[in-house]
Amino acid sequence: MENQEIKVQVNHLTKRFGDLLVLDDVSFNIKKGEFVCIVGPTGCGKTTFLNLLTRLIEPTEGEILIDGEPADPKKHSISFVFQEPSAFPWLTAQQNIEYGLKIKKRPAEEIAAQTEKIISLLGLEKYRHAYPHEMSVSMEQRVVIGRAFALNPDLLLMDEPYGQMDIKMRYYLEDEVVRLWKATGSTVLFITHNLEEATYLAERVLVLTNKPAKIKANIEVDLPRPRKVSDPEFIRIRKEITEMIKWW
Amino acid sequence: MKKNRSQARDIMLSVISILLLVAVWFLVSGSRPDFFPTPMATVERFIRLIEKPIMGVSVFGHVLASLRRVMLALIASIILGIGIGLVMGWNKKVRAAINPILMALRPIPPIAWIPLIILMFGVDEFPKVLLVFIGSFFPIVMNTMSGVALVDDMYLKVGKIYKAKTWQMLRHVVFPAAMPTILAGIKIAISSGWMVVVAAEMLSSRSGLGFLINRGRDSYDVALIMVAMILIGVVGALLSAVFTLIERKMCGWMSKE
Ligand SMILES: Nc1ncnc2c1ncn2[C@@H]1O[C@H](COP(=O)(O)OP(=O)(O)OP(=O)(O)O)[C@@H](O)[C@H]1O
Ligand SMILES: [Mg+2]
């Protein structure tokens, strides 16, 4: 039973680029429907790890299992929100959200229903026919997040999606991603530099060391939602994470 | 409001500069009207041309004859240019194999091909269209190739994440991403093709604007030459304006300014 719950299993994952060791024997599990944040210093190998998960690059050693099988984009449904906004500029907001569904040749009714659901969850009704160049960066990133959630992915990877946004927009989008996660039941792996963001979002925070990256700590965040950044328990956990990385 | 006003100002300036050009033409032609027809004489010649066809073809027939040759050649160079450019941009090996040939052929101006083409194909319709094809193929194939090769890696990664198959990748990611560059190539091809068709028709032809120029030269009808030249300019400008509209329609998603 316990095993069935596990969505992603990372076993002894190692990645070298030539002589450069980036990931050093990393192992951990992610449960189905879990929201996990990964924090780590700049350049420690976070993006590399996500690229391994999606098989954009191959591991040097070790394996990644999704539902007990080697990770395979052909079999598993994985979505990705990149660090930089990556909406297709030639598609409108709505067409961008439909994109993954269309590529996968889902039935037309499903595409329409799912797209509507995401558009209304994101409150994008007014902007559905807008092109990315007519949007702000944060709006574009929301469209990309909508595109990723629309597929109801087994696994959703988000690589510092809010890195370029101001605090106010960030707070707003953090609530939004939690709402989408709850509504779709996806398993989310969210990378961030921002410890407060990690504490706010995650059920569990994985802290990575400096390059070559290892897992330094695994911190459960068992706080009710919506969370309050001023809650003493919230502050305690954020400080605990901060302690782990003081030497960055 | 402000935009309207600056638009009106731009139109005014265009009208003024065209009027100035006509005024200069008046002045220059005034001294030797027999040698260099006045604007009035040219307009008169144009009206006479509408009333009295040359070689049994009306003046608009001649314009259409030139346009037809350009369109035929353009269709061929768009299909072949985009097809070959797409494969070359997508596949580095194909690019390495074909690029040297293109690089060597591209600098040869279409006019330099004329003797060879006449020897091989005579002076029929086909060799003219072939010449226009030579003039319009290269900008399309080169632009398509570089447009495809330079598609942002980010978009390719997005395509891969969603497991797009190769043809889906080409159709839904690479092609639209490269579209502005491809259209820019077609635009160059149109103006270059329009120039080449006139040259091809001056060679030997019984129709087309290039033929009218030749006819004017042979019968010392300078006004006819002027009429044909102005038509070449006007139709060329119209072609490019029409294509700009198409371009805007197809690439409305591109940020302007
Ligand atoms: N394709 C590659 N070839 C060689 N080295 C690479 C490659 N990709 C990443 N690296 C190196 O691996 C290390 C980790 O890079 P990565 O992008 O995974 O870091 P990151 O944790 O995502 O950083 P950031 O916080 O800046 O996003 C860096 O030193 C980087 O230079
Ligand atoms: Mg990164």
Q: Say what the ipTM of the complex is.
A: 0.84
* CATH code, domain carrying B199: 1.10.3720.10
SS3 B56: coil
Shared-domain flag, residues B123 and B243: yes
Shared-domain flag, residues B135 and B11: no
DSSP H or E stretch at residue A187: strand A187-192
**What's the gap in Å between B222 CA and the centre of ligand 2?**
70
Shared-domain flag, residues B9 and B62: no
| Residue B168: closest C-alpha in chain A | A103
Q: How far apart are CA B144 and CA A240, in angstroms?
A: 55
Domain interval for residue B162: 43-256
Shared-domain flag, residues B53 and B104: yes
Average pLDDT over all residues of chain A: 89
**What's the gap in Å between A45 CA and the centre of ligand 2?**
7
Q: How many domains does chain B have?
A: 2
SS3 A162: coil
A234/B contact by beta carbon, under 8 A: no
Shared-domain flag, residues B125 and B2: no
Q: What is the mean pLDDT of each run of 10 residues along chain B (257 residues)?
A: 80 93 88 83 91 87 95 97 96 95 94 92 92 96 96 92 89 94 96 94 90 93 93 95 92 69
C-beta separation of B173 from B159 below 8 A: yes
Shared-domain flag, residues B123 and B200: yes
Shared-domain flag, residues B181 and B88: yes
B158/A contact by beta carbon, under 8 A: yes
A25 vs A22, A49, A212, B47, B136, CA distance in Å? 10, 12, 9, 86, 57
| Residue A153: closest C-alpha in chain B | B162
Shared-domain flag, residues B14 and B109: no
Amino acid at B27: L
**What's the gap in Å between A159 CA and the centre of ligand 2?**
7
The whole-model pTM stands at 0.86
Shared-domain flag, residues B18 and B94: no
Nearest CA to ligand 1 atom 8: A48
Shared-domain flag, residues B32 and B156: no
A74/B contact by beta carbon, under 8 A: yes
Residue A2 has pLDDT above 80, yes or no: no
Shared-domain flag, residues B143 and B28: no
Shared-domain flag, residues B53 and B8: no
Residue A85 confidence class, pLDDT cut points 50, 70, 90? confident
